[in-house]
Amino acid sequence: MSVEFLMALAALPVVVILLWIYFKDKNKEPIGLLIKLFLSGFVSCILVLIVSRLLENIFPFMDTDLKYKTFVDVLLYAFVGVALVEEFCKWIMVYLIGYNDREFDELYDGLVYSIFVSLGFAFIENILYVVYTSSLSTAILRAVSAVPSHACDAIFMGYYISIAKQYHLRGKFKLEKKFLWLSILIPTILHGIYDFCLMSGYQVLVITFIAFVIFLYTISIRKLLLLAKNNKKIKFKNKFCGNCGKIVTGEFCANCGQRQE
């Protein structure tokens, strides 16, 4: 089986999900911004590699084979070494690129931004897995499990980021901080459960994994469809800099120094 075919197969679920998310958005985001978010998912892969290497140097057990890990080791590895590291690195990209962008003016936008970053990450990860294994079954299995799972985690990330954005614009910064934390915590928990069930080696948890995936997909799709249907503008109290797009509250932009009209 050719490498080109496997790469196309690995990319297919990412493309399908992104197109579905894009066309669910009644007021489309600029293509340039979406491309930037998607490519930033590639950058998050590099961040994950760096942070993971640092953790392995600090906690050597994280670098050992799964069959040599204790139950607690697997638990920590799944929730911290994989889930937290990956979700936080993706979150950084969403926050830095999307959170203060002038185009972030609707509730659904947070989901779009998070999913594009997350699937940028999943795109690279999936190609590496599928090409390395050269397995058609791996490509199919990941197309219905790993890739959609990344998207589901991103739905929750984007949902809480959108709520945080609303509180930010209302000047309620404690509530903003709370929901920004939730936008990292909830996806990490969901991601951690997914990975732990697979990594544990316990048959009962493999069965639990199937039930969890069905549950995760169901609530994620419902949340996305509900938000897409009832999408609304975020009420702005602050204005955005016409030069760099950052939020400004005075006569001059604190980020670039541009005088505001």
Report CA Rg, the chain.
Answer: 19
Q: What are the CA-CA distances from residue 66 to residues 55, 73, 76, 78 (Å)?
A: 16, 9, 12, 11
pLDDT tens-place values along the chain, 261 residues long: 678 888 888 899 999 999 999 999 988 999 999 999 999 999 999 999 999 999 989 888 888 888 888 889 999 999 999 999 999 999 999 999 999 898 998 999 999 999 999 999 999 999 988 888 888 888 888 888 899 999 999 999 999 999 999 989 888 899 999 999 999 999 999 999 999 998 887 888 888 899 999 999 999 999 999 989 888 887 655 565 656 656 666 667 777 877 766
Distance between CA atoms of residues 62 and 23, nearest Å: 40
Q: Which residues of 213-227 are buried (b: 16+ CB within 10 A; e: fewer)?
A: beebbeebeebbeeb
> Taking the CB of residue 206, how many other CB atoms lie within 10 A of it?
12
Q: Closest by alpha carbon to 103, among 156, 48, 36, 173?
A: 36
Helix (H, G, I), strand (E, B) or coil at 237: coil
Phi and psi at residue 57, to the nearest 5° = -70, -35
Give the model's pLDDT for residue 116.
98
CA dihedral of 99, 104, 106, 108, whole degrees rounded to 10: -60
SS (H, E, C) 161-183: HHHHHHHHHCCCHHHHHHHHHHH
